[in-house]
Amino acid sequence: MAVWALGINHTTAPLDLRGRFAFALDQIAPTLNALRDNVGARLGRQPEAAILSTCNRTEIYCAGAQHEIDTTVEWLAHSGGVSESTLRHHAYTLQDASVARHAFRVASGLDSMVLGEPQILGQLKDAVRVAEQAGALGTTLNQLFQRSFAVAKEVRTSTEIGSHSISMSAASVRLAGQLFEDLSQVRVLFVGAGEMIELAATHFAAKGPKAIVVANRTLERGEKLATRFGGEVMRLADLPARLHEFDVVVSSTASQLPIIGLGAVERALRARKHRPMFMVDLAVPRDIEPEVKALEDVYLYTVDDLAKVVHTGAANRQAAVAQAEAIIDAGVQSFVHWMDQRHAVPLIQQLNHQADEWRAAELARARKLLARGEDVDTVLEALSRGLTQKMLHGPMAELRAGDAEARQRASAAIEQFFLRKER
């Protein structure tokens, strides 16, 4: 079984390119089916597959009879509407042990923009659940991901990898505090109601802002989040008309197109008499048109802009990283050993089947002898002799072969399998 992976992330690809390959959770199952059909046409059989898609990365994990990286690159480039050469320039491809090492590092938060952040593990578990429900997981990828979860758990419990981490949400609050002297006097708008917005709302709410409003397509979900933080909810359609009311805007939706345009922000600034606005776009693809950043009274940050802030204190975590890498090394070795063992499974099954046939034949013969009244010791002697002869027939035949080279190989194998001393 071959294992391969293809991906782009915040270190290899710019935000706009990552946006072309961002898949919402409800898009992953049909996307997996298309991928498996495409690669399966080359392999003659659908491969195992899973897709992890977050604001910082899109990664495809596959397992099949042979590596099909080129086919996977071709399919992903086509699905994102870019050339293969463009995708290859920004992507990374991995095989076998390297796939395991990467998956374990991702699950443990070592490959994240926020070193040690725990959110990625939940996102990986969601990706695995969707792949399993789509029937795209098999024994190999299931083992890979279950082991990645176990490694991540050990890293988090045995090291301090996340003790100094700064989340995207915390970084946003820190930057907002640099712009506004008193965050208790600002009005905050959250666009969306997913996990990223929930995290951001938690951090901003701790500063006691003057108002918290949640804008969401589904009012019920938005109201649930707003109620939690003592805020109010509004329809997403009302956003352009009310944008001027807010000093801070944090957006993270699954929209494939920007929902806050340059014109809406310009109108909001005029209504605010050009009082500054702090805006955070945590979505991939973007929720806020990039041209907004050029406006004089707007301070717009994307996930990539927050990178420098979240890296603060990284030097303090190097010892924890070294510990984590050691745990990951052990996990990779264990997975590779399991993969190597799988190659021998068909032979082991054949050997067990043959041994069972020999045992059954000798037992049947022994029962007949006992039924005829033969002495028990005589029957047991015959049983053991019959089994021994069946086991040794093949090796003895090889030792008697006319080919000297074949006899030499047989001698070495017999010494290894039958004559070695127990250690």
Residues annotated as catalytic (active site), given as ranges: 55
How far apart CA 260 and CA 246 sit, in angstroms, is: 13
Residues 6+ apart with CB under 8 A from 254: 24, 192, 194, 283
Residues 6+ apart with CB under 8 A from 52: 7, 58, 59, 61, 106, 123, 124, 127
Q: Is 54 annotated as a binding residue?
A: yes
How far apart CA 144 and CA 151 sit, in angstroms, is: 11
Angle between the N-to-C axes of helices 195-205 and 119-133, in degrees from 0 to 180, rounded to the nearest 10: 160
How far apart CA 267 and CA 191 sit, in angstroms, is: 18
Q: Is 119 annotated as a binding residue?
A: yes
CA angle (273 as vertex; 271, 274 as ends), nearest 5: 105
* Nearest alpha carbon to residue 55 among 281, 265, 242, 323: 281
Q: Is 112 annotated as a binding residue?
A: yes
Q: Is 196 annotated as a binding residue?
A: yes
Instruction: State the pairing for strand pair 57-64/2-9.
Output: antiparallel
Q: Is 194 annotated as a binding residue?
A: yes
Q: Is 220 annotated as a binding residue?
A: no
Angle between the N-to-C axes of helices 195-205 and 168-179, in degrees from 0 to 180, rounded to the nearest 10: 40
Between the alpha carbon of residue 255 and those of residues 23, 259, 357, the distances in Å are 10, 7, 62
How far apart CA 342 and CA 254 sit, in angstroms, is: 40
Residues 6+ apart with CB under 8 A from 366: 379, 380, 382, 383
Q: Is 192 annotated as a binding residue?
A: yes
Q: Is 55 annotated as a binding residue?
A: yes
- The 10 Å Cβ neighbour count of residue 307 is 16
Q: Which helix (H) or strand (E) holds 63?
A: strand 57-64
Q: Is 1 annotated as a binding residue?
A: no
Q: Is 195 annotated as a binding residue?
A: yes
Q: Is 197 annotated as a binding residue?
A: yes
Angle between the N-to-C axes of helices 69-80 and 25-43, in degrees from 0 to 180, rounded to the nearest 10: 140
Burial 209-223 (b: 16+ CB within 10 A, else e): beebbbbbbebeebb
How far apart CA 195 and CA 252 sit, in angstroms, is: 9
Q: Is 95 annotated as a binding residue?
A: no
The residue behind tokens 């022994």 is 366
Annotated binding site: 54-57, 112, 117-119, 123, 192-197
Annotated binding site for substrate: 54-57, 112, 117-119, 123
Annotated binding site for NADP(+): 192-197
